[in-house]
Amino acid sequence: MKLHFGAVAFLLSILLYFSPATAKAQVVTAGPDSVQVAVAVPDTAQKRFFLSTWDKPAKAALFSAVIPGAGQVYNKSYWKVPIIYATGAVLGYFLIDNNTKYQDFREALNRRNRDSSDVYVNDRVYGVYNLNNNGVTTQRGTENLRYSRDFYRRNRDLTIMLSVLAYGLNIAEAYVHAHLKDFDVSDDLSLRVQPDIIPVNGNFRNMTPGLTLVLYAK
């Protein structure tokens, strides 16, 4: 009987040892003995909005990425907003114009390749036809159509790349401006001009006299 009771106690001790701890233990002294009482640890972490942990440059970049010019408004640089939207309007105009002309010339070239009877109308619309003395359309018209199609397609693709670049500059400007806005620059500045010897073309054997300007912040 004692052996059976000892085996049960041994198994219970192994289960308790390998069971995961659900709470931290706290030592409570009551009388002569110390007893460990499981006490639940309250969750004191507060859930906050994710933007509350971001700094100002990151917020300005995010605002400009969502709405162009919003980061500049966040930085209180209101005069930059009309420049951003004027740039977008100009790029949008050239994008639509170049794409429209590209589609027109592409369709005219496709019609020329499909049906020679429809060539004269399309060529005359775009002013690229070329007739010989007998009034027969020559291959020059096809070449002009192909050149015009490729020309406006390149312009359209270039406008798209410029638009992406302008969008990226809008974000970068808001980010950098927010950084520089909080940059501490002392009002007490001094400029020292002193003579110096400067190497010519990176060659220290050939030196030339010059001046060095050093800006100090006190």
In this structure, the answer to whether residues 164 and 194 fall within a common structural domain is: no
- Cα separation, 183 vs 87, in Å, equals 29
209 and 148 in a common domain: no
Residue 137 lies in a domain: yes
In terms of residue numbers, what domain contains 195?
185-218
Based on the fold, state whether residues 175 and 192 are members of the same structural domain. no
Same domain? 204 vs 173: no
Q: How many domains does the chain have?
A: 2
Measure the N-to-C terminal CA separation of the chain; round to a whole number of Å.
89
- If asked whether residues 62 and 169 sit together in one domain, one would say yes
Same domain, 145 and 81: yes
pLDDT (mean) for 190-201: 77
Specify whether 78 is located in the same domain as 137.
yes
* Per-residue pLDDT reduced to its tens digit, 25-83: 455 555 555 555 555 555 544 556 666 788 888 999 999 999 999 999 999 999 999 99
Domain match, 110 and 96 both = yes
Its pTM stands at 0.56
Please indicate, yes or no, whether residues 155 and 208 belong to a single structural domain of this protein: no
Same domain, 127 and 95: yes
Same domain, 168 and 67: yes
Structural domain includes residue 166: yes
